[in-house]
Amino acid sequence: MGDRLAGKIALITGGGSGIGEATAQRFSAEGARVLIVDINGTNAERVATALREQGGEAGHLAADVTDPEAVQGMIQHAVKTFGRLDILHNNATAAEMGSVADLSLEGWNRTLAVNVTAPFLATKYAIPIMLDQGGGAIVNTASISGTRGDYGMAAYNAGKAAVINFTRSAAIEYASRNIRMNCVCPGAIDTPAIRALTGSGAETPHMAVAGGSVDLPKLPEEAQAKVRERMGTAHPVGRLGTPQEIANLVLFLASDEASFITGAAYIIDGGLTAHTGLPAMR
């Protein structure tokens, strides 16, 4: 175990799987005490239990991060349990698929609620705590989908673009008071969400959202393999990213090593957005 976050208290939303789970493991391994928050309480408990079994200190909480009372409660729970809050990782996400004309207003609102309103609420309630204790670090999970458009993902694209600029605005407001705020913009990462979208996860693929989940169509095995291959090869490195690779960047931004970094949006996508998308001229 390291000590890059020794003595720090961290809260991670969407911490029950994928990037959130990997970040919890990295934070704990570097000495942080961690509160795992997830809409799926079973997953949150599983991650927290694993961290404790590895010698760390961790708690868990089931919460709907779009509910203002629940978000205020999770911040208060972290402070009551651990005494302070040094790091907030707003990582929970959701996506309603569909072309603009076919996308329901409910789906649009739900996607923006999880991706935009939830980080706003958590940040709003965490900042007074951090100000009172002399500072803190906030890291939001955005996406390269907040910097470019995707077919059939208008709501998600809009939400992640909002996260990037919200991060910048909040960062400059509190930079002089020792609160740093940055975001990470991953490419396609091999998480349960990606496996759900490709139909290669659970028997009935679904994506967790506030208040429940959305069922997704199950693709034939051959189609699953093709979709995953296309997603992987779209990245110049030739593969999907791993949750651990994103967690490494989140750890850096949350640590004192990034003390002069705030208001930044870090692209971590295996080179995907570094090229135009045109075929190779050979």
Distance (Å, whole) CA 149 – CA 257? 33
Q: Which helix (H) or strand (E) holds 111?
A: helix 105-112
Distance (Å, whole) CA 41 – CA 16? 8
* Residue 270, both tokens: 């295996």
Active site residue 125: no
CB hemisphere CA count around 98 (13 angstroms): 13
CA distances from 184 to 90, 128, 167 (A): 10, 23, 10
Cα torsion for 59, 62, 65, 68, to the nearest 10°? -90
Size of the chain in residues: 282
Q: Which helix (H) or strand (E) holds 198?
A: none
Q: Is the dihedral of CA 140, 141, 147, 152 positive or negative?
A: negative
Neighbouring residues of 7: CB distance < 8 A, sequence distance ≥ 6 = 31
Neighbouring residues of 204: CB distance < 8 A, sequence distance ≥ 6 = 215, 218
Distance (Å, whole) CA 111 – CA 199? 20
The catalytic residue among 125, 151, 156, 174 is 156
**Residues annotated as catalytic (active site), given as ranges:** 156
